[in-house]
Structure 1
Amino acid sequence: MITGAQVRAAKALIGWSGNNLAEKAGVGLSTIRRIEGCDGVLEAASIKTLQAIQKALELGGVEFLGAPEDGPGVRLKTQK
């Protein structure tokens, strides 16, 4: 599962606004803001919503690292 801190970092890496991410993930901007406001995993967020956000960011060029409880992070995907 992804964390709010990872979402914030991923958006910054690829230069997306909250609106960009909300549109590409098919979720509301308020949902993005709630998730970003939590450094860990937002318990109130559904798995489906978190997966949609993660997929959108991955398609945008981000790779998620670690686990929420052990060194979560993000980086740009390497171009092959």
Structure 2
Amino acid sequence: METITVKTTPVLMDELENVVKKEHYKSKSDAINDAIRFLVKKHKMREIDRRIKRIREGTEDLPSLTEAVIKSHEEDDER
């Protein structure tokens, strides 16, 4: 496992210690690793959201899937 050194405020340190006690983490390291995992997951979700928005750009004028299916059924009914 890697070791890092982090500077923080006394207030954040107190909050971290309270979280460790209340959430039953074995150590501050376990709590910080959990926070890092959450941060990484949040970053990945933002990136996925950006990609989805980029893919959707320019598709606003296209019919929705529901509209396309309804139109297809209507065309079949007309035949």
In the superposition, the TM-score normalised over structure 1's length comes to 0.28
State which structure, 1 or 2, has the greater radius of gyration over its C-alpha atoms. 2
In the superposition, the TM-score normalised over structure 2's length comes to 0.28
- Comparing both structures, which one devotes a greater share of its residues to strand? 1
